[in-house]
């Protein structure tokens, strides 16, 4: 559900409440007040608004609002949030929950022609409670990848739902083509991208072992927050093995329309992948090689 749809629902609820209140007052013989219906509608926008009554330093608050999505300058009514701020909080919280619990739309996966693999996390409860289950493909997916996966390519791209299906849906359509185009222009070989359901970052190690690629890059939904549920991360690792640790991975995060745009991120990731192939390293080791230049 997007912001426009949520706003419409909230406004409809508020209008119904106003109608009910007016009806009850009329039954009790209380004269109805003339109200401007447009004034009763609360408009929810992504643009931060000044809601502090008589602020002592308005410019400072407005400057802070421009550089962070945090809830700054929302004001209060007595000891509580104002109604608009409270409803926006509830909307953002609901969006975060939806991002975690709902699946990526099958239409998008079909549109991008992505083969679908599955980890050992057969349901969402298992995925959330058992980290290891999301790090390994199930037996059926292992068989499929061994039989049908493209082997020996320099790059294997996998799209992972992770903790935010919303992030995958919001960014992949622009991000994936940008990466593929960048790799093609650089003459880097890549295997057909894959989608891995209920997966965590380390599933890339399992995939790399099967397809024998130099690098696996995982485009994975980040844990959603109240600022956005659309943030995606890209984790890259060069020739992972049983001794691979987090420091061996390179990560670019905060990919979304309000952060690093998907198209820009795609071009940047293609450059990073080229450097990893050049230095045969990722993570901390890649940084060390780059700093020697």
What is the total count of domains within the chain? 2
Query: How confident is the model at residue 31, as a pLDDT?
Result: 47
Q: Are residues 52 and 83 both part of a single domain?
A: yes
Closest-CA residue to 237 (of 281, 271, 268, 194): 281
What is the extent of the structural domain holding 63? 3-101
Residue ranges for the binding site for adenosylcob(III)alamin?
Answer: 201, 222
The alpha-carbon radius of gyration of the chain (Å, integer) is 24
Look at residues 35, 69, 101 and tell me which one is the last residue of a structural domain. 101
Q: Are strands 155-160 and 194-197 parallel, antiparallel or unpaired?
A: parallel
Report the distance separating Cα 280 and Cα 275, nearest Å. 8
Rounded to the nearest angstrom, the gap between the alpha carbon of residue 44 and the centroid of all alpha carbons in its chain is: 21
The verdict on 85 and 214 lying in the same domain is no
Sign for the CA dihedral angle at 124, 130, 135, 136 comes to negative
Q: Does residue 267 share a domain with residue 171?
A: yes
Cβ atoms of residues 193 and 122 within 8 Å: no
- In this structure, the number of other CB atoms found within 10 A of the CB of residue 128 comes to 15
Coil, strand or helix: which one is 22? helix
Query: Residues forming the annotated binding site?
Result: 201, 222
CATH number at residue 70: 1.10.30.40
- pLDDT for position 16: 61
**pLDDT at residue 108, rounded to an integer:** 92
Q: Which of 168, 190, 183, 189 is nearest to 266 (CA)?
A: 183
87: left (phi over 0), alpha (psi -120 to 50) or beta: alpha
For residue 55, is it left (φ>0), alpha (ψ between -120 and 50) or beta?
Answer: beta
Last residue of a domain, one of 72, 101, 130: 101
Per DSSP, 190 falls in state B
88 and 146 part of one domain: no
Cβ atoms of 266 and 273 closer than 8 Å? no
- Domain end among 86, 101, 116: 101
Contact 92, 226 (CB under 8 A): yes
pLDDT for position 209: 95
Same domain, 65 and 210: no
Whole-number pLDDT of residue 194 = 98
Instruction: Go through the chain and tell me how many residues it has.
Output: 293
Query: Quick one: 179 and 210 in the same domain?
Result: yes
Same domain as 81, residue 7: yes
Please state the pTM of the whole predicted model: 0.72
Residues 133 and 230 in one domain: yes
Each residue's pLDDT tens digit in the chain (293 positions)? 555 666 666 666 566 656 655 554 444 454 444 444 444 444 445 566 777 878 888 888 888 878 777 777 888 888 888 878 777 777 777 776 666 667 788 999 999 999 999 999 998 889 889 989 999 999 999 999 999 999 999 999 999 998 788 889 999 999 999 999 999 999 999 999 999 999 999 999 999 999 999 999 999 988 776 567 788 999 999 999 888 999 999 999 999 988 899 999 999 999 999 999 999 999 999 999 988 86
Tell which residue, 196, 27, 227, 16, has the closest CA to residue 120.
196
Going by their DSSP bridges, the two strands 215-221 and 232-238 should be labelled as antiparallel
pLDDT on residue 104 = 85
Q: Domain check: are 137 and 215 in the same one?
A: yes
Same domain for 145 and 228, yes or no, is yes
Nearest CA-CA partner of 22 in 37, 11, 10: 37
Domain of residue 181, CATH code: 3.40.50.11240
279 and 172 housed in the same domain = yes
In a shared domain, residues 157 and 255 = yes
């Amino acid at each position: 559900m997007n912001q426009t749809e949520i706003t419409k629902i909230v406004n409809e609820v508020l209008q119904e409440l106003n109608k009910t209140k007016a009806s009850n007052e009329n039954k009790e013989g209380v004269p109805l007040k003339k109200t401007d219906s447009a004034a009763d509608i609360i408009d929810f926008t992504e643009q931060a608004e000044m809601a502090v009554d008589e602020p002592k330093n308005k410019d400072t608050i407005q400057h802070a609002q421009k550089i962070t999505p945090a809830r700054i300058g929302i004001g209060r009514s007595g000891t509580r949030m104002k109604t608009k701020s409270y409803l926006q909080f509830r909307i953002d919280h609901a969006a975060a929950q939806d991002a975690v619990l709902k699946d990526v739309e099958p239409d998008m996966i079909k549109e991008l022609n992505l083969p679908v693999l599955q980890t050992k996390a057969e349901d969402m409860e298992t995925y959330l409670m058992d980290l290891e289950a999301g790090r390994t493909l199930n037996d059926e997916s292992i068989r499929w990848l061994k039989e049908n996966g493209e082997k020996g390519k320099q790059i294997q791209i996998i799209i992972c739902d992770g903790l935010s299906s919303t992030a995958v849906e919001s960014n992949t359509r622009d991000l994936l083509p940008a990466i593929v185009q960048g790799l093609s222009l650089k003459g880097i070989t890549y295997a057909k991208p894959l989608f891995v359901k209920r997966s965590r970052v380390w599933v890339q190690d399992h995939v790399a072992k099967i397809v024998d690629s130099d690098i696996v890059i995982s485009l994975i939904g980040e844990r959603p927050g109240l600022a956005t549920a659309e943030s995606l991360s890209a984790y890259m690792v060069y020739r992972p093995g049983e001794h691979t640790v987090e420091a061996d991975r390179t990560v670019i995060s905060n990919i979304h329309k309000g952060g690093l745009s998907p198209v820009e991120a795609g071009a940047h990731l293609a450059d990073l992948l080229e450097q990893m192939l050049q230095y045969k390293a990722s993570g901390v080791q890649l940084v060390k090689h780059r700093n020697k230049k």
